[in-house]
Structure 1
């Protein structure tokens, strides 16, 4: 039944500019509850980052789940240059100390059909099992002006990491999403957030199908 719903979800979103192209869930996880979530929208454009993190935060608020934007947690110096693994792990410990229990990590990783791509597309099909590895591997999105230019189809990923005591940031769920010819930032972000929520609801991750979704009406 769940596979049938996912196929329906793919067909439903297929006519949109934003499409779920792959969906992976940790086989050891059935349900995942979170009460305080850090939302990270990794993007070189601060405007896009603000818009995305704020839009996603509204959806958490509607469902009574506390969330914090990375904009309100990471200082300018942290995102302006490369951070070492030790520095990222220090941030992870700070999150644990502040009672966070999950990170929703969103990023654009590249483009399939861009011929003038200046950077090697890193890890499109790779599962980063810890937040520190995922962040470190893609952090130059923030500050490298030559990272990408003029995409036709953007490849984006949303990953959900658990912040667990005595464990590394464990990957709970990952969705790969393609965004085709985005011309309206607000619409693109709304479609992306809608798709992520639908996919996570179906997987019983933070969001659940018990209450009506105010975004989709489902």
Structure 2
């Protein structure tokens, strides 16, 4: 698993704006992500372009073990038929799935008040100082908007037909989807290592 995420760690060396909010793993840890050989990657995003980019990126981290859902499920396949999906992925030899889903986008508007900096001016005579008194400069107040994206990442065992690991992450003001998914994968991998889900 370390080999799978090595390119990710090298790519994301700047300070991350993503943090783990919560995580859970199957208590007995009978199945770890290292044991999965063929993994379906699914990004449940509204925008098709965003979905493709996220799935492509996640597949890249799986080092040949992953396949994008947008390539796997052809346009004529009924993705609303749960039983058909279950039968198809088992028949085609998938033993795992990784999903990424955007749960919430929280926008917070923050006002930074104006700032006045007063300072005395030096004058050679008293009258100049008295009439000019204090000089000052000001910075106008302004608004900024902070966006926080909450994303759920799940790992499933297809053979056992159950979830084996999940995490919620929060990313603040990401610099695009690619950066956000990179940061998520990095902190998720660190959490998996911490919990012994990968080794």
Give the TM-score taking structure 2 as reference length. 0.65
Counterpart residue number, 2:43: 41
Is the Cα contact below 8 Å between 2:31 and 2:164 reproduced in 1?
no
- Point out where structure 1 has 5 or more consecutive residues left out of the alignment: 1-14, 116-149, 209-218
Counterpart residue number, 1:193: 185
2:147 aligned to which of 138, 148, 152: 152
Counterpart residue number, 1:215: none
Counterpart residue number, 1:7: none
Counterpart residue number, 1:6: none
Counterpart residue number, 1:96: 90
Matched, 1:107 2:101: yes
Q: Note the alpha carbon deviations across 1:96-133, whole angstroms, 9 max, x for none.
A: 11111011011011245679xxxxxxxxxxxxxxxxxx
1:162-177 map, 5 Å: 162-164=157-159, 167=160, 169-177=161-169
The ranges of structure 1 where at least 4 consecutive aligned residues each deviate by more than 6 angstroms after the TM superposition are none
Counterpart residue number, 1:72: 71
Counterpart residue number, 2:194: 202
Larger Rg: 2
Q: Note the alpha carbon deviations across 1:189-217, whole angstroms, 9 max, x for none.
A: 21112222222333444x43xxxxxxxxx
Is the Cα contact below 8 Å between 2:31 and 2:157 reproduced in 1?
no
Q: Note the alpha carbon deviations across 1:134-179, whole angstroms, 9 max, x for none.
A: xxxxxxxxxxxxxxxx982121100111111xx5x20101100112
Provide the rounded CA distance (Å) in 2 between the counterparts of 1:156 and 1:77: 29
Counterpart residue number, 2:25: 25
Counterpart residue number, 2:5: none
- Point out where structure 2 has 5 or more consecutive residues left out of the alignment: 1-14, 110-144
Provide the rounded CA distance (Å) in 2 between the counterparts of 1:173 and 1:105: 11
Distance 1:203 1:31, change over 3 A: farther
- Report how many residues are paired: 149
Give the TM-score taking structure 1 as reference length. 0.60
- SS of 1:152's partner is strand
